[in-house]
Amino acid sequence: MQVFKFGGASVKDANNIKNMADIVKNSAVKDLLIVVSAIGKTTNALEGLTNNYISGNDEMYENLESIKKYHFDIINELFAYNYPKVYDDINNTFVEIEWTIEDKPQDPYNFIYDQIVSIGELLSSKIVSHYFNYIGITNKWLDARSFIQTDNTYREAHVNWHKTNDLIDSQVPALLKNTIAITQGFIGNTSENFTTTLGREGSDYSAAIFANCLNADKLVVWKDVPGILNADPKRFPEAIKFDELSYASAIEMTYYGASIIHPKTIKPLQNKNIPLYVKPFLQPEDQGTIIKETDSTINTPSVIVKSNQQLLSISSKDYAFVSEKHLSHLFRAFAEANIHINMMQISALTFSVCMDQDAQKFEKLVEMIKQDFSFKYNLDLELFTIRNFTEETVAKYIDHSKSLLEQRSRNNAQFVVRK
């Protein structure tokens, strides 16, 4: 049993969906579960629609029309207008958005967001499933919400592993016997039967959840890159591909901001020793990168850049040294504001923190600390993490005159820099 995951880029147009069908046919895997993301940049478009709906902007109707047009253009090309089932099914799916936006928004933003944005994955999975049946790749369409159970933290739902595992384990293997099933990434369901999402780019994570609960032989994530590289090739053309990475290295790289795989993806696979293959969907024969348990240590330096960073320097208003008492107060405030600290440093009078730029969370933090602390900050910075650094790589990638904060451990060097 295997799980394949196809991201937005791999289904972004009719050609890519045809390519996906070739990959599935040629793989000849029996018992295959396919997890798909929304088509192309549909999630961003649905986010835009949601924002316009919440703020009462009629532009939401144009947003909806252009999302519809995008999907129906692809359908027309795939089915040449002669497969009524897909037209009915997709029209009915769009009706769910139409009904939602007919009334004035009443529920909290995050809840509404999930009800609307989740439709992207329903649309893509239905189109792919109908298309596969249309060309003779018999398959079943599964609603991921019947299996992935979460709490009600809308937009960043936490998976209830116990319930999810029971549901998948008791039903999906039988459904997959000698056949293919197609389902959605990114979405889940609360105990009150409302749709949730698992956080942006969360489809990889969905695929890993299914793979874990199915004890799959492997998970293959099909991407528009040759595999996992030691730097972003768009920015650093000399980047090289890893043939193999350990789970631990992959977890570290995603933690520091390598955006190729969702950070939550690796652990559920590691726990069951399921290898993760990251392969290029346009060169399916290439080996890509395999992430698995391995003791081979790789010393190739990797350069990971996280953008949209804010550097905050906090000092106590009484001009005292930064004490553990201050720190415990500050850490509590960071936790309550739901801010993740990407890097930090303590000096005599200041506590410096590098974090993702998020005006709302920052405001919440300020409210909690402004009475006792004063602060300064810089915006629009980048956090460079160089794993397995050498002086040579540091010299090559870091302009020290733009660097505001630096830190080195035995293996990693980090720099907060101006663009």
Interface with ligand ASP (CB under 6 A):
7-8, 37-38, 43, 120, 185-186, 200-203
Instruction: Give yes or no for residue 7 binding Mg ion (CB under 5 A).
Output: yes
Of 4-12, 81-89, 232-240, 336-344, the window that binds Mg ion (rule: CB under 5 A) is: 4-12
Residue selected from 8, 40, 268, 301 as contacting Mg ion according to rule CB under 5 A: 8
Close Cβ partners of 213 (under 8 Å, ≥ 6 residues apart): 164, 165, 168, 169, 172
Instruction: Please choose which of ligand ASP, Mg ion, none residue 202 contacts, taking the beta carbon within 5 to 8 angstroms, the exact cut-off set by kind.
Output: ligand ASP
Q: Which is nearer to ligand ASP, 89 or 201 (CB)?
A: 201
Distance (Å, whole) CA 239 – CA 237: 5
The answer to whether 389 is a known ligand-binding residue is no
Contact assessment for residue 206 and residue 148, using Cβ atoms and an 8 Å cutoff: yes
Residue 183 annotated in ligand binding: no
Match 């032989």 to its residue by tokens. Answer: 217
CB of residue 99 to ligand ASP, shortest distance in Å: 22
Residue 200, contacted partner among ligand ASP, Mg ion, none, CB below 5-8 A by kind: ligand ASP
96 annotated as a binding-site residue: no
What gap in Å lies between CA 46 and CA 60, rounded to an integer? 9
**7 in a known ligand binding site:** yes
Q: How far is the CB of 172 from ligand ASP (least distance, A)?
A: 20
Q: How far is the CB of 45 from ligand ASP (least distance, A)?
A: 10
**Smaller CB distance to Mg ion: residue 279 or 326?**
279
Is the separation of the CB atoms in 124 and 11 below 8 Å? yes
Supply the minimum distance, in Å, between the C-beta of residue 42 and Mg ion: 9
Spatial strand order in the sheet of 180-184: 139-141, 180-184, 32-36, 2-6, 218-223, 276-280, 289-292, 244-246
Of 47 and 372, nearer to ligand ASP (C-beta) is 47
Nearer to Mg ion, 64 or 221 (CB): 221
Q: How far from chain centre, in Å, is Cα 303? A: 20
Residue 16 token pair: 């890519």
Q: What minimum distance in Å lies between the beta carbon of 230 and ligand ASP?
A: 23
By beta carbon distance, the residue nearest ligand ASP is 203
Helix (H, G, I), strand (E, B) or coil at 356: strand
Backbone φ, ψ for residue 383 (5° rounding): -105, 115
CB of 371 to ligand ASP, least distance (A): 38
Does 43 count as an annotated binding residue? yes
Partner whose footprint covers residue 186, from Mg ion, ligand ASP, none (CB < 5 to 8 Å by kind): ligand ASP
Distance CA 60, CA 51 (A): 8
Print burial letters for 239-273: b (CB count within 10 Å at least 16), e (below 16): bebbebbbbebbbbbbebbbebbbbbbbebbbeee
Sheet holding 403-408, edge to edge: 341-346, 351-356, 302-316, 373-387, 412-418, 403-408
Least gap, CB of 44 to ligand ASP (angstroms): 7
Q: Which is nearer to ligand ASP, 117 or 417 (CB)?
A: 117
Site for Mg ion in 9-48 (CB under 5 A): 37
Question: Which amino acid, residue 176?
Answer: L
Binding-site size for Mg ion (CB under 5 A) equals 3
Nearer to ligand ASP, 120 or 288 (CB): 120
Residue showing tokens 């090289």: 240
Nearer to Mg ion, 8 or 263 (CB): 8
Binding residues: 5-8, 43, 121
Q: Write out the binding residues for ATP.
A: 5-8
Q: Which residues bind Mg ion (CB under 5 A)?
A: 7-8, 37
